[in-house]
Amino acid sequence: MRLLRRRDGRMSTRMFGGGFDLNRILMLVCLLILIVTVAMPMIMIIYNTFFYGFTFDWSMFSKVVFDPANVDAMWNTVVIAFWVTLVGTFVGVFYAWLIGRTNIPLKGLMKTLFVIPYMFPPFIGAVAWGLLLSPRAGYINKMWMQMMGTREALFNINSIAGIVFVEVCYYFPFVFLQVVSALERMDPTLEESARISGANQFYVIRKITLPLVAPAVAAGAMLILISSLSHFGVPAMLGFSRGIFTLPTKIYELINRSAGSFEGIRQGAALSVLLVLVVVVALWLQRKILKAGHYDIIRGKSMRPMLITLRASKFPLLGVCLGSLFVIVLLPLFIIFAVGGLKAYGLPLQLSNMTFDNYYYVLFSSQMARDAIKNTFILSISSAVVAMFTGTMIAYVVVKVKVRGKAILEMLALLPYSVPGIVLAIGVILMWSGTFYVNLYNTIWIILVAYVARYVAFAMKSSSASLEQVHYSLEEAARSCGATHLESLRDITLALIRPGMIAGFFLIFLPAMRELTTSILLYGPYTRTLGVAIYAINAEGNITQSAALSAVTILIIMLGNLALRFVTRDRRSVS
């Protein structure tokens, strides 16, 4: 029995209606999936950090946290993330502004090229820059030393500065894309009204454009910050040899050193808690500092924004852009493919030193490499499919179904976004190594579970966006035309979100292909992924082969991106 208030103020009663059962079941299923894949690993980490058996014991946590080596690693993590965010944001805004607001030539080309680092695995970039700037054998350093006649390298990439440089190269597109998009969609009359009010071009940029774009900048900067704090590949490739550790790499080293023992994993878990705390504090600080609101500045009619005419500075600036594109995009690509074709690392880059042997080896001879390629494909495709369907189902419940408690669902699904990959890996290990009678350790399944947990968030976001565009009146119109509920879901809803689902598939497939941070902790002797294989071969010292495998990986990823572009181009789909 429920009490109702009528429109003229009087009260009345009504018997409780039913019909919520199917929706409730759907929600419970989604909740169960998320709890098992996402929530439990997190809980296991916290539990194992602070509890031994069933007793509360925080001695290990404090021991780990106050260990000077770990404090050092934490400090490095924070310093690197700080500089990467600062420099990356500046670089991103600079280029975004050049492309979005000036009449610099070759915009289309540069826009495409500036986005390429976004699809690259940063650790392959680290490999490339190692080839170029490692203190003794790096090609640029060697050239420099020859030219200058010294034994001093031009730049040592195996340093904090080196790590910052490489991470900036691969993370600045986060800010670049956000800001370019904001600038392009901004209502030009906001700037024009400032001009008419007496402000010249520069005053307008300072007082109007930049403040209005601040939310986009903040969003991009936040992405850079989280990515850098959680990142494993670049500090691993460039820092290990010099004993420079960050929290993610330290976690790996701890576990590796203890050969996967439970004690080692517990310590790793403790460090993970520390890492998550650092992430949370950093996010909170950033939100406080930037405090940028959300402005509705999208233009309505199709108006062209006013472009600043560059006069004397046009060609120098173009030179800067093309130069940096060369350095960021082309140089690493070139060196990877080139060294992949060398007979031995260190040999001068001339045709007489070239061979296809390395490529042949990684593609056909090396069992590990071929296994890695196979594993990566299997994992990427299956995790993308599973995550996509799960994510779409969750998105459907969150967007379309009227049921209580879906806020929890949404929160759980989006949690992995802010959890570093290495932390998730540890949680997955703790969860699926026999504690609950299921032992997936060292099998490919454990990696699959970790990937699904990580990527469900991506799929849910992309499917939510699609579903929100499918207004309920579109389904109802189908019902009124004679379609049953199921038919309307099939003919209308599914048909309209299909492009979004396919895009969602690639949104997971591509990152999964180039992933290293999570699989580095979860791989077993036969379950190496491409990232792990490259890392292992490099660690063994087979530089040319690791370069060749990196080159192959890059090719596969580029093909994947082309496929994505092809599939998501505007055809007969949702406007």
Partner 1 sequence: MAGVTFENITISYDSKVIIDNLSLKVEDGECFAILGPSACGKTTLMRALCGFKSLDSGQIHIGGKLVGSKDKWKSVAPEKRNVGVVFQDYAVWPHYSVFENVYYPLKKRKVPKEEAKKRALHAIEQVRMKGYEERMPAQLSGGQQQRVALARALVSSDQLMVLDEPISNLDANLREEMRFEIKELQRRTGITVIYITHDQEVALAIADRMAILDQKGYVRQVGVPEDVYRNPKDSSIYKFLGVSNFIPLERRGEGYALAGEGANEPFPCDVPQELRGAARLFAACRPVDISVGDDGPVKGFVKHVVYLGNLFEYRVLLGGREIRVQQDSHEAFKTGVPREERPCALSFRNLRFYGDEEGGTPS
Partner 2 sequence: MSGVALKNVTKKFSTRTLGEVTAVDDFNLEIKEGECFSLLGPSGCGKTTTLRMIAGFEDLGGGEIWIGDKPVSVKKRNLYVQPEDRGLGMVFQAFAVWPHLNVFENVAFPLRVRKVGKSEMDSRVAEALRNTGLSGLERTFPSDLSGGQLQRIALARAIVMNPKVLLLDEPLSNLDPKLRESMRFEIKALQRRFNFTIIYVTHDQAEAMALSDRMLVMDMGKIQQIDTPTNMYTNPANKFVYGFLGLSNFVDVNISDGKAYPEGSTGQALPCAIPATFSEPSGTVASRPNEIDLTAEGGFRTEVKARIFLGDYTEYRVDVGNKEVRIQSTGDRGFKVGDSVGLDFTRVQWYSRDDSVGDAERERRKVI
Nearest to 446 by CA among 513, 550, 520, 498: 520
- The residue whose two tokens read 């006069």 is 311
221 near 89, Cβ under 8 Å?
A: yes
Nearer to partner 1, 18 or 243 (CB): 18
Size (the chain), residues: 575
Spatial distance between the Cα atoms of 520 and 405, rounded to a whole number of angstroms: 36
- The distance of closest approach from Cβ of residue 304 to partner 2 in the complex, given in angstroms and rounded to an integer, is 10
- The residue whose two tokens read 């400090």 is 75
- The residue whose two tokens read 């062209």 is 304
Nearer to partner 2, 22 or 196 (CB): 196
Helix orientation angle between 122-133 and 331-340, rounded to the nearest 10 degrees: 80
Nearer to partner 1, 347 or 477 (CB): 477
Cα radius of gyration rounded to whole Å, the chain: 26
CA distance readout (Å), 227 to 174, 412, 532: 10, 20, 19
Nearer to partner 1, 288 or 571 (CB): 571
122 near 170, Cβ under 8 Å?
A: yes
DSSP state, residue 353: G
- The distance of closest approach from Cβ of residue 250 to partner 1 in the complex, given in angstroms and rounded to an integer, is 51
The enclosing H or E element of 174 equals: helix 160-185
- The distance of closest approach from Cβ of residue 329 to partner 1 in the complex, given in angstroms and rounded to an integer, is 35
22 lies in the binding site for partner 1 (CB under 8 A):
no
Nearer to partner 1, 179 or 492 (CB): 492
8 lies in the binding site for partner 1 (CB under 8 A):
yes
CA distance readout (Å), 367 to 322, 372, 520: 40, 8, 18
Q: What does the angle CA 542 – CA 543 – CA 544 come to, to the nearest 5 degrees?
A: 100
536 near 528, Cβ under 8 Å?
A: yes
Amino acid found at 52: Y
Spatial distance between the Cα atoms of 118 and 214, rounded to a whole number of angstroms: 21
The enclosing H or E element of 52 equals: strand 51-52
Spatial distance between the Cα atoms of 252 and 240, rounded to a whole number of angstroms: 11
- The distance of closest approach from Cβ of residue 6 to partner 1 in the complex, given in angstroms and rounded to an integer, is 4
Residue 480's binding partner out of partner 2, partner 1, none, with CB under 5 to 8 Å set by partner kind? partner 1
Per CB under 8 A, residues contacting partner 2 are: 187, 189-190, 192-200, 203, 207-208, 211-212, 214, 293, 295-297, 299-300, 306
Residue 404's binding partner out of partner 1, partner 2, none, with CB under 5 to 8 Å set by partner kind? none
7 lies in the binding site for partner 1 (CB under 8 A):
yes
- The distance of closest approach from Cβ of residue 209 to partner 2 in the complex, given in angstroms and rounded to an integer, is 11
Of 494-513, which residues contact partner 1 (CB under 8 A)? Answer: 495-496
367 three-class SS = helix
Nearer to partner 2, 299 or 400 (CB): 299
Residue 484's binding partner out of partner 1, partner 2, none, with CB under 5 to 8 Å set by partner kind? partner 1
Q: Considering only the stretches 17-25, 156-164, 227-235, 556-564, report the one whose residues sit in contact with partner 1 under the rule CB under 8 A.
A: 17-25
Q: How many CB atoms lie within 10 A of CB 69?
A: 13
Helix orientation angle between 68-101 and 210-230, rounded to the nearest 10 degrees: 140
Residue 154's binding partner out of partner 2, partner 1, none, with CB under 5 to 8 Å set by partner kind? none
Residue 473's binding partner out of partner 1, partner 2, none, with CB under 5 to 8 Å set by partner kind? partner 1
Nearer to partner 1, 5 or 291 (CB): 5
- The distance of closest approach from Cβ of residue 458 to partner 1 in the complex, given in angstroms and rounded to an integer, is 24
The enclosing H or E element of 14 equals: strand 11-14
Amino acid found at 124: I
Nearer to partner 2, 18 or 198 (CB): 198
Nearer to partner 2, 50 or 295 (CB): 295
- The distance of closest approach from Cβ of residue 410 to partner 1 in the complex, given in angstroms and rounded to an integer, is 21
4 three-class SS = strand
14 lies in the binding site for partner 1 (CB under 8 A):
yes
Of 456-495, which residues contact partner 1 (CB under 8 A)? Answer: 471, 473-474, 476-484, 487, 491-492, 495
Token reading at 560: 């994947």
Nearer to partner 2, 204 or 372 (CB): 204
Residue 5's binding partner out of partner 2, partner 1, none, with CB under 5 to 8 Å set by partner kind? partner 1
Residue 295's binding partner out of partner 1, partner 2, none, with CB under 5 to 8 Å set by partner kind? partner 2
- The residue whose two tokens read 């940063």 is 122
Residue 574's binding partner out of partner 1, partner 2, none, with CB under 5 to 8 Å set by partner kind? partner 1
Query: Which runs of consecutive H residues, i.e. helices, occur in 134-159?
Result: 139-148
Under the phi-then-psi rule, with left for phi > 0, alpha for psi from -120 to 50, and beta for the rest, what region is 309? beta
Residue 320's binding partner out of partner 2, partner 1, none, with CB under 5 to 8 Å set by partner kind? none
- The distance of closest approach from Cβ of residue 175 to partner 2 in the complex, given in angstroms and rounded to an integer, is 19
- The distance of closest approach from Cβ of residue 293 to partner 2 in the complex, given in angstroms and rounded to an integer, is 7
184 lies in the binding site for partner 1 (CB under 8 A):
no
Residue 196's binding partner out of partner 2, partner 1, none, with CB under 5 to 8 Å set by partner kind? partner 2
Spatial distance between the Cα atoms of 440 and 447, rounded to a whole number of angstroms: 9
Residue 200's binding partner out of partner 2, partner 1, none, with CB under 5 to 8 Å set by partner kind? partner 2
Question: Where does this chain bind partner 1 (CB under 8 A)?
Answer: 2-8, 12, 14, 17-19, 471, 473-474, 476-484, 487, 491-492, 495-496, 572-575
